[in-house]
Amino acid sequence: MSSWCQLGFQDAGSYFMEEFIYFHDFTMMIILGVLSYVVVFLVLGLLSGWVDSGFVEGQLIEFMWTIFPALILIQIAFPSLLLLYLIEDFSKSFLVCKVVGHQWYWSYEIKTESSEILASVDCYMLPREGAFGMRLLLTDEFLMLPINVPVRILVTSDDVIHSWTLPSLGIKGDAVPGRLNQLNVTLSRKAMFYGQCSEICGANHSFMPVMLMGVTSPQFFMWLDRL
C-alpha cells in the first residue's frame, strides 16, 4: 500500500504491474533526455546572441530533427502496444472471479472456467474502532487468489457505477450495471493488497475498500473449504 509523501508507484504485486513500472521508467528516461537536450540548446541560444543571416536552409539538420523524434516514438510505441495486448489476453486463465459492486460493499464469486461456483463472499468495511490504524481500508472478509495462477476477473454492479481498483496489481475495472468488464491478473507474490472504489457512487463512496490476499494454491483451497 502507499505511504505518506510517496512519489513513485506502490510495490508491484503482479507481473503486469512490474511491466508497467519498467515501461514508466523507460519512458521517463527518454523524456528526461529530450528535456535536457532542449534546455541545453535553449540556454545556449539565449546566451550566445549570434545570428547567421545567410543561413536559409539546412537539409541535413532538418532531416535529423524529423527522423530522431520518429525513432523515439517508435521505441515507445512497441512496448506500449505489447502491454496493451497482454492486458487483453484472456486465453490462459484457470480461475474466474466475479466482482459485484453494491451500495456500499463488494461481493465476490469464485468460479472455474466451466462456470462452476466454488465460493462466494460479501466484504463490508470494518468500523473505525476495529480498523487497527488502517482507516477505510480493512474489511470483515477479503478475497484470496493463488499466486502464479492466471485469473480472469469479471466486474459488474448491482445498482450504480462503481470502480474496482487495486493499484499494486495494476488493475482498475469499472463496475457498470448490466455489463461485464473483464480484467486479467496473475499475482507474483504473497501479500495483502489494498484498494478502494475509484468512481463516485454515492454518499458512502469512501467506504468501499478492497482487500485481496495473494496466497499459495494449498492455502487458497483451504480458504475455499472454509467458505
pLDDT digits (tens, 9 = 90+) for 151-189: 999 999 998 999 999 999 999 999 999 999 999 899 999
Does pLDDT of 216 surpass 90? yes
Q: Are strands 117-123 and 171-175 parallel, antiparallel or unpaired?
A: unpaired
Residues 113 and 136: their CA atoms lie apart, in Å, by 33
Per-residue pLDDT of 114-141, as tens digits, reads 777 888 899 999 886 555 667 788 888 8
- DSSP 3-state assignment of 170? coil
Helix axes 15-48, 59-87, angle to 10 degrees: 160
Does pLDDT of 16 surpass 80? yes
pLDDT above 70: percentage of residues in the chain: 93
Q: What average pLDDT does this structure show over 188-206?
A: 89
Comparing 46 with 108, which gets the higher pLDDT? 108
The pLDDT of residue 153 = 92
In which residue ranges of the chain is CATH 2.60.40.420 found? Answer: 95-225
Q: Are strands 143-146 and 209-215 parallel, antiparallel or unpaired?
A: parallel
Does pLDDT of 214 surpass 90? yes
The CATH class that applies to domain 95-225 reads mainly beta
The pLDDT of residue 86 = 83
- DSSP 3-state assignment of 39? helix
